[in-house]
Amino acid sequence: MSQKEDKPRFGFMTRNYLVLTLTSTLWGIPTSICNTYFSLYVFGLGGTEITIGLITALGSTAFVISAIIGGHIADLYGRKKIISIMTIVLGLSQFLVAFAPNWQFLTLAMIIVNICFVFEPAFWAILADSINEQKRGTAFALYSCLSFLPWAIMPSIGGYLIDIHGILAPMQWTYVCLAIVGVAAGIIRLFMLTETISPQNRKAGGQYSLKELGKLVKDAFKGHLQTWSWMPRSALALAAIYILWAFEYGLVEPYWIVYATKVIGVTSTQWGIIIGLGSAISIVSKILIVGKLLDKFSRRKILLATTALDIFTYLLFIRCGMYIQVLTLWIASSFIWSFYEPTYSSLEADIIPEERRGRVFAAFGVAWSAFSVPASLLGGFIYEQVNPELSFIMASIGIILCFILTALFIKQPQHNKK
């Protein structure tokens, strides 16, 4: 889809961009509570740290399979329908999470939820398709900012409710709200999105109907392997970096709140305030700083600086002994983290041609999720059975490796350099 260069600063705001941004922001209202306190929800249903790792690992496995198929569908059949329909199904699947009677049922529910994310490659592909190349940094920063806006408010409210009413009731009602929001977002996307893959480019997938599911799956996996063989060096390097981030995710992401509440002594309300203030800092930095820097300077250099600063976050966190120390560290770290999503998204769009974005974005998602499976299992075991601090130390080493790979192998296309 060709995009005309617009003179106004916010000329990149196509209808697709606005629809995806606004529905993502709507989705983020309940999600910001659900994701923040999910680990505590697992505890409330009788699980342990190892259980958290198991649920994360199985969910990632389901996402790997769905992403491969989703990327294939996105490039051959188009983006709009799979995004819209599966957003609705994703919303309905949240009812299973809301009414899970135990952690075993919750595990099954999260597998189904992750299968529903089959539309994610199409989502990022249509978003990239709908943004002018010269405005990618600003556009992705603004998208990240607005979709992240609920995180500045809702976690504090969720934490307060959890401290008053316990973990189960507030989380159950929040997941019910998430289901309603998901259905509404899907309907909005169905009626307001515009397809970005032209009929000519979709003819390659017209040799068999969607009813032939077996052939579709077979061709999807075959195409996925071919995608890896096609990728340029910089794209392969990005995939390798995402693999390292997957290990970071499995090792520490579900356990920030566990360590903060059980070891440091932070309450759920205080953790909500920490997440909220950190989110506010991230939003402000994206509005005032991130987008402008990404469009003015080398995205690769910005990523190198961000990664270098982030190395110390994990080591400092396990040295915190009180709420105010965690709050201070989280505010500083949130400024650093605010650069990641817009920078990576901009680099992906720079490196990958439009007609291959669905499959390549799927490949990135698969690489991340596939390696988060062993990382999640390992993270839960290390945190519960070995040493909680070791998980954060290993994550810091992973960030060092991300920095090295970025320095050695990420090359931004010459015509995009400022």
pLDDT, one tens digit per residue, over 85-124 is 999 999 999 999 999 999 999 999 999 999 998 888 888 8
Statement: residue 227 has pLDDT above 80 = no
Residue 63, pLDDT score? 83
- The pTM of the full predicted model, rounded to 2 decimals, is 0.76
Q: Is the residue at 72 inside a domain?
A: yes
Distance, in Å, from the CA atom of 137 to the CA atom of 380, rounded to the nearest integer, reads: 36
Two tokens, residue 418:
């400022």
| Spatial contact of 238 and 408, defined as CB atoms under 8 Å apart | no
Distance, in Å, from the CA atom of 239 to the CA atom of 234, rounded to the nearest integer, reads: 9
Residue 80, pLDDT score? 85
**CA within 13 Å, CB half, 194:** 10
Identify the band that residue 357 occupies on the pLDDT scale cut at 50, 70 and 90.
low
Two tokens, residue 6:
């617009």
Identify the band that residue 247 occupies on the pLDDT scale cut at 50, 70 and 90.
confident
Q: Is the residue at 2 inside a domain?
A: no
Statement: residue 417 has pLDDT above 50 = no
Q: What is the average per-residue pLDDT within 182-194?
A: 93
Q: Is the residue at 390 inside a domain?
A: yes
Q: Is the residue at 9 inside a domain?
A: no
Tally Cβ neighbours within 10 Å of residue 133.
Answer: 15
| Spatial contact of 40 and 167, defined as CB atoms under 8 Å apart | yes
- Of 68, 73, 362, the closest CA to residue 205 belongs to 73
Two tokens, residue 409:
């192998």
Statement: residue 258 has pLDDT above 50 = yes
Residue 144, pLDDT score? 78
Percent of the chain surpassing pLDDT 70: 85
pLDDT, one tens digit per residue, over 48-94 is 989 998 998 898 888 878 877 777 777 677 788 889 999 999 999 99
Q: Is the residue at 356 inside a domain?
A: yes
* Domain of 183, in residue numbers: 15-200+212-416
Q: Is the residue at 10 inside a domain?
A: no
User: For position 157, which CATH number holds?
Assistant: 1.20.1250.20
Q: Comparing 1-10, 51-60, 162-171, 258-267, which segment has the lowest mean pLDDT? A: 1-10
**Residues in CB range of 152: below 8 A, 6 or more apart:** 276, 277, 279, 280, 283
- Of 142, 155, 153, 158, the closest CA to residue 284 belongs to 142
Q: Is the residue at 112 inside a domain?
A: yes
Mean pLDDT computed over every residue of the chain: 84
- Of 328, 348, 337, 343, the closest CA to residue 285 belongs to 337
- Of 31, 79, 70, the closest CA to residue 179 belongs to 31
Residue 4, pLDDT score? 42
Q: Is the residue at 331 inside a domain?
A: yes
When divided into structural domains, the chain yields a total of: 1
Buried b (16+ CB within 10 A) or exposed e, 55-67: bbbbbbbbbbbbb
Distance, in Å, from the CA atom of 360 to the CA atom of 362, rounded to the nearest integer, reads: 5
Identify the band that residue 217 occupies on the pLDDT scale cut at 50, 70 and 90.
low
